[in-house]
Amino acid sequence: MSSEIVQVQALVIGSGPGGYVAGIRLGQLKVKAMVVEKAEPGGICLNVGCIPSKALITASKTYDKLKHGADIGLFADNLRVDMKKMQTWKGEVVAKLTGGVRQLLKSNGCDYRAGTAKIVGPGTVEITNGASVTTVTAEHIVVATGSRPIEVPGFPFDGKRVVDSTGALAFAEVPERFVVVGGGYIGIEIGTLYAKLGAKVTVVEALPSILPGTDPEMAQLVARKLKKLGVEIVTGAKASAWAEKDGHAVVTLQVGSETRTIDTDKILVAVGRRPNSEGLGLETIGVTVERGFVPVDRALRTNVPGVYAIGDLVGQPMLAHKASHEAEVVAEVIAGHHAEMDVRCIPAVIFSDPEVATAGLSAEEATRQGREVKVGKFPFAALGRAIANADTDGFVKVVIDAHSKEVLGVHIVGNGASDIIAEGALAIEMGALAEDLSLTIHAHPTLPEAIMEAAKASLGEAIHVVNR
């Protein structure tokens, strides 16, 4: 067994969208830093999460559009899915991005090591990679180890019948029947993509509706589209067990007081994620861990001086872009700059059909805070670009303070929402007023015009819908 001792100013454990961004920014700030990763550079997001899922979602959307091309005068003969080819293309997308991570770290002067890291004492970490052990001493340790899918009783992941999101994004062929346990954003995104590729999909959700925590009006629109795609949604239901039978799986559900069974080929369990806080040696140096999460202050500092945590490990929302922003903040803090997490909103996107994107407060949340609000709403059905796209399901809501006219929230359901929500986030972050959005000239015909029109509607000045 070989050994090595290395000294750095900052060691980052994990190379996901939190860890690798921290490494890059530390390098830019001339802090001698190292990033260590036990799997592949880029973490869950780039390798088996955000990026590959969106690649497959894009492919499934294209296929679905082609199937309905006759509606707009386009006829595709012998249309078919080659799942192996699609997986190859997805792999190329992933490889392009993950390959760039190491190069970016190197170009910014940050060392990258492969191996499993464990804190063994104050400012001391051991990195094990096969027979090699590297001892790293660091003034600052940033823990950015992310999260993993939650298993549920009766459905241990076996990679064959029962899969997590990683397994579901790696199918060599489209399953004929597909049960999704969990109607949150991961389950709905993956369930939708396979429904479009031809699978008979059943979504099982324990709560009364899918996409819990989402504006009910938006969730209902997604549910209606799922039904059009032939997806069965079973709410108020709990998957209790499954069994192998005659070459397929049989899933048992408890729906109220009734028991029901569903035949399927694959089962995706997507009921949430849990933080990766075990086995890191956090307890060795006294870092507080609560229900798996690591509490931090606004500067991402744990209770132990010199130890920081970012990303999924520190709690909701478990979003890649939140981790990346925290990474930049923690790098600034380590470099001695005054920085902290000071954000008015963190936008969130669900890549369903139609897409859902939100930034800031809902009208209900703002009202609970004691604010009087006005809401402007503009439907995609009245938007020229959406009509020309042959994709008019959805709307934009802009929530403003009734007195100051400050923009409090922007909520979008409709395809293209993921691309236009950034304008809403910028408006909230800069403290914009409804007039700032309504008086900004938006190019025509484009989807962001819907934000301008919704802002006008909140003021009673909408042009292309009747003002309420």
Active-site amino acid positions: 444
Residues 78/54, Cβ–Cβ less than 8 Å: no
Three-state SS string over 201-213 comes to EEEEECCCCCCCC
Beta bridge partners of 266: 178
Helical ranges in 213-319 per DSSP H: 216-228
Amino acid at 127: I
- Closest to 125 in 3D by CA, of 2, 285, 16, 17: 285
Beta bridge partners of 241: 252
Task: Report DSSP state, residue 290.
Answer: B
Helical ranges in 29-157 per DSSP H: 43-48, 50-67, 83-107
Q: Within a 10 A sphere around the Cβ of 296, how many other Cβ atoms? A: 22
Residues 358/376, Cβ–Cβ less than 8 Å: no
**Whole-angstrom Cα distance, residue 216 to residue 79?**
36
- Closest to 188 in 3D by CA, of 398, 30, 353, 389: 353
Instruction: Name the one residue in this structure whose structure tokens are 């209790």.
Output: 240
**Whole-angstrom Cα distance, residue 290 to residue 423?**
35
Cα angle 27, 313, 169; round to 5:
95
- Sorted by sequence, the CB contacts under 8 Å of residue 408 that are 6+ apart come out as 360, 361, 366, 371, 373, 399, 400, 401, 428
Residue 213 class from Cβ within 10 Å (0-12 exposed, 13-18 middle, 19+ buried)? exposed
